[in-house]
Chain A
């Protein structure tokens, strides 16, 4: 039946990013004997986890038809705040909670600027990106905050649980929660509806402003979680941490097949997109490609993915 065919082709379209990832992996397995080792795979996942967490949030924002450029700065400010509180003698759980809350607040500010002040997301978050980064510099006085003596805090970014890095476990749990949220809840449905047609959503009784504020708050929260993990792993918080991470996150979302104009996409794609970027980085390192060329390759892969995606959409 035509419907089956259509569903099949839409499934194939969704599988596109996965096929791309598998091809890259296959090439790397052949090219580098060190790639397919348990250690290396876990390493890749650990590296990916930070970008993935940010990109998960970015997926929500982009699905509503928005964008959030402030996530890298949010990461830095929340990380620094948590680090500062820890060094001030606060117990790690409370410090982490406050760090996460600060991210949610920063996201909420973004959401309010977009929905209440009606500033275009690109501009609003460009401004707050600068502000949050500036505040991080003010807070740290431009110097790294280091020397945490909390075993618990070190575990967050550097620990293992049954041999699996803790950040990876966190990423998987968050992924599962967000997958459920998007797939099975009215909130998730509203996110898609707003991206598809905001006016029609509002006129259907959806509190579009509130939903969008939640979305930006969620993104801020996830960015701060990434910031805390990064701070823990590096055992140091810096005001210029997470520079350009917003672009990696956007790249992961786009590679995963989510439309920048909103309303279409899924979070599984984003995870795959983040893995593509991570595997590529790792593989090129293993192959001894200079980090300068790595950037060129990453850019080319993004272009290629988007071109292939368009071709599929047209056919």
Chain B
């Protein structure tokens, strides 16, 4: 499992790639090179052109100009199938798995083995091969299992197996760890190491610096569609990479703050949903940032949704400023001063087809309407103000949220709650899939709010983030609070220990 880069002809090389969509130039001289047996990170802020570059490589888009060589041969794919035939496979962040089909059926989707040219499928043979490919990856998944019974991590393994079954030599992975548990990430990394030793080249797109420095051999950075540079991981630092990405110093990743912690703001007593979450009790004070850590599926989101009235609670009491509040719906929670930024901004946080203005208005009717009649003038003023205040990069307020970059979508999803100061602000994975620059802006926003006395509860799977931002950490394990750690007690080990139930030493 050496990290050494084998000196060989590049698997692919892209140079001087230019691409415009209507009048917007997305790529201006982008470049990338991948060697056999290396894991090469592709980094850049949201909107830097990473996805577009990879879509050009795989034939989804056609470059306006530039050269692409795959294994020394000049190519310009016009169809993803052609890329596949040349051994280039991509594993998207949103997996291409059909839930109700079995593992085998997913593996052979669209290319079933048949008896000659008949329509009769060779079930046994396909199953055998599926088993073989999965074994090669060292994963134990039943080929007959329905895909929707598998975890996200397992589904991802199937996608990788599928790519390998097509003899892929280039594997592009777009944010592969975003939805995985730590254990699944570990399994994925093992497989990536194995593939590297077999000579497969992996393009690794991620915002998680720690993972990149752990796994990758080289790192290339794009900024505003231009190629900035390629560095050997062993010879660079996180600070340098961040500098390359944003083109300026952004200073500390987690901005300093002087927390002014006040009186008890939120108290939760014995909260249960009768299903996943049991006996949750904790309190949080004004101006405090409480991190909520735990493994994926531990019940953190369920706790947040109950506090917000989006999930029904079976028992338990919620107090705000010492007063018990009856929260039966999100609108009641909002009235009580509790607001919630969901982890899934696309499906739960935003109305994607609506404009930035309209999305910002949905939670701020109070400020823009009288007796249910919206004042266009007030509405425009509000959206202009918010776009400025939260640095939302949008052409104008009428742009649909769908067409914003991930980081800017997240700023809308967060900003829409800040038309007035909430009492308790719950954020579920607020920086997932968001680039460094936007991340820092989100942390700064949280700090400013806490300084104004808002209680912030931040659920995050990113341990450095939890450690960098929180005053205290609540660790959830299998639907219960395993531990509440003070600033002096919290570190990676204590959190992982509690998150895994204390049964293992984490890893």
Contact = CB atoms under 8 A, between A and B. Distances in A.
B119 interface: no
Contacts of A205: 330-331, 333-334, 362-363
Interface stretch (A31-39, A46-54, A154-162, A183-191): A183-191
B347 A2 contact: no
Contacts of A200: 342, 347-351
Contacts of A207: 329, 331
Contacts, number: 80
Given A196-B351, A199-B347, A3 B358 contact: no
B331 A263 contact: no
B443 interface: no
A7 B349 CA distance: 26
A55 to B, nearest CB: 22
Contacts of B352: 196-197
Contacts of B369: 185-186
Contact of B342 (A186, A189, A201, A203): A203
B146 to A, nearest CB: 24
A176 to B, nearest CB: 14
B179 to A, nearest CB: 18
B361 interface: yes
A138 B24 CA distance: 65
Given A189-B374, A207-B331, A197 B361 contact: no
B23 interface: yes
B362 A201 contact: yes
Contacts of B363: 204-205
A202 B328 CA distance: 12
Interface string B182-212: 0000000000000000000000000000000
Contact of B365 (A184, A186, A196, A197): A186
A206 B395 contact: no
Interface residues on B, range: 20 to 34
Given A196-B353, A204-B330, A205-B334, A189 B361 contact: yes
A201 B351 contact: yes
Contacts of B308: 203
A193 interface: yes
B340 interface: yes
Interface string B299-331: 000000000101000000000000000000111
A233 interface: no
A192 interface: yes
Interface string A198-241: 01111111110000000000000000000000000000000000
B345 to A, nearest CB: 9
Contacts of B85: none
A185 B372 contact: yes
Contacts of A192: 351, 354, 358
A214 to B, nearest CB: 11
Given A186-B365, A200-B347, A200-B348, A3 B374 contact: no
Contacts of A206: 331, 362
Nearest to B331: A205
Contacts of B340: 203
B402 to A, nearest CB: 10
Interface in A253-271: 263-264
Interface in B380-432: 395-396, 398, 416
Nearest to A10: B398
A196 B402 CA distance: 11
Contacts of A184: 373-374, 376
Contact of A2 (B23, B331, B349, B416): B23
B22 interface: yes
Contact of A204 (B22, B347, B362): B362
Given A196-B354, A201-B362, A185 B374 contact: yes
Contacts of B349: 200, 203
Contacts of A196: 351-354
Contacts of B396: 3
B395 A2 contact: yes
A205 B24 CA distance: 36
B330 A197 contact: no
Contact of B351 (A185, A186, A197): A197
Contact of B358 (A185, A189, A199, A203): A189
Contact of B395 (A3, A187, A197, A202): A3
A200 B363 CA distance: 11
A184 B376 CA distance: 8
A185 B331 contact: no
The 9 closest A-B pairs by CB, nearest first: A196-B351, A205-B334, A205-B331, A197-B351, A204-B362, A196-B353, A186-B365, A185-B372, A186-B372
Interface of B: 22-24, 308, 310, 329-331, 333-334, 340, 342, 347-354, 358, 361-363, 365, 369, 372-374, 376, 395-396, 398, 416
Given A185-B374, A189-B362, A203-B308, 17 more contacts: A2-B22, A3-B395, A3-B396, A7-B398, A184-B376, A186-B365, A193-B362, A196-B351, A197-B348, A197-B353, A199-B348, A202-B330, A203-B348, A204-B330, A205-B334, A263-B351, A264-B353
